[in-house]
Amino acid sequence: MLYGPPVWDPILIIAQIISIQCLFYLGLGLWQTILFGPYIGSLNVTHLFGWRHMSFKTFLGWMTIAANIINAPLGAVYLLWIVERAKKCLDFASTCYFFHFVFCCASSGFPASLEWWLTNLVGLAIMSLMGEWLCVRREMSDIPITSLRARGAGSSTQMSTAVSGGLKRSDSKSRLLGGPNNV
């Protein structure tokens, strides 16, 4: 995976933000379904966006916090798949959690719970740092030389054939014109 100079492509950036946000909520919903779905009647949107559910005092609160923390490494994998650049991971993770904050404010008001703020700050740190680590590992991985040699060998043979063919043509021209090779 070779990277060229950075190019400003707002459509790509918006598509990446939307993709990460959708996968973030898909993962969060999945973890909430697994962790506390069997214990409550039905999950709804307030479990995703309601800050009042996060509490250290109740079982449901602990499971909500656990679902959010477990979702952060999954978000790092999304950054690896979609963003692919270590230097952009903090930006995209911050954007994801900023939109989560906006959606929470729109759904249930400004989060007044310390548990909500701690959980989301820890989730942001995990998602961005782990995403950067995963992306750096991918960026620093060795480029397989065998595939480049195979491609390069084919190109060099074609090139040498074209060059030798060009020499033959020039030799035949010099023979036709009575050059020094025509003895």
pLDDT tens digit sequence for 61-78:
899 999 999 999 999 999
Token pair of 158 as six digits? 């074609």
CB-based contact 77:134 (threshold 8 Å): yes
Q: What are the angstrom distances between the C-alpha of 47 and each of 25, 37, 170? A: 11, 10, 79
Q: What is the pLDDT of residue 135?
A: 92
At 142 the pLDDT is: 77
pLDDT recorded at residue 169: 47
Please give the pLDDT value at position 37. 79
Provide the pLDDT for residue 50.
Answer: 87
Q: Is the dihedral of CA 19, 22, 25, 27 positive or negative?
A: negative
**Closest to 99 in 3D by CA, of 5, 9, 14, 10:** 14
Q: What pLDDT, on the 0 to 100 scale, is given for residue 178? A: 56
- In tens, the pLDDT along 109-165 reads 999 999 999 999 999 999 999 999 999 998 888 777 776 666 665 554 454 444 444
Predicted TM-score (pTM) of the model is 0.73
What are the structure tokens assigned to 34, written together? 């697994």
pLDDT band at 7 (very low <50, low <70, confident <90, very high): confident
Among 105, 83, 81, 103, which residue's Cα sits nearest to residue 93? 83
The per-residue pLDDT of the chain, averaged, comes to: 82
> What gap in Å lies between CA 136 and CA 145, rounded to an integer?
20
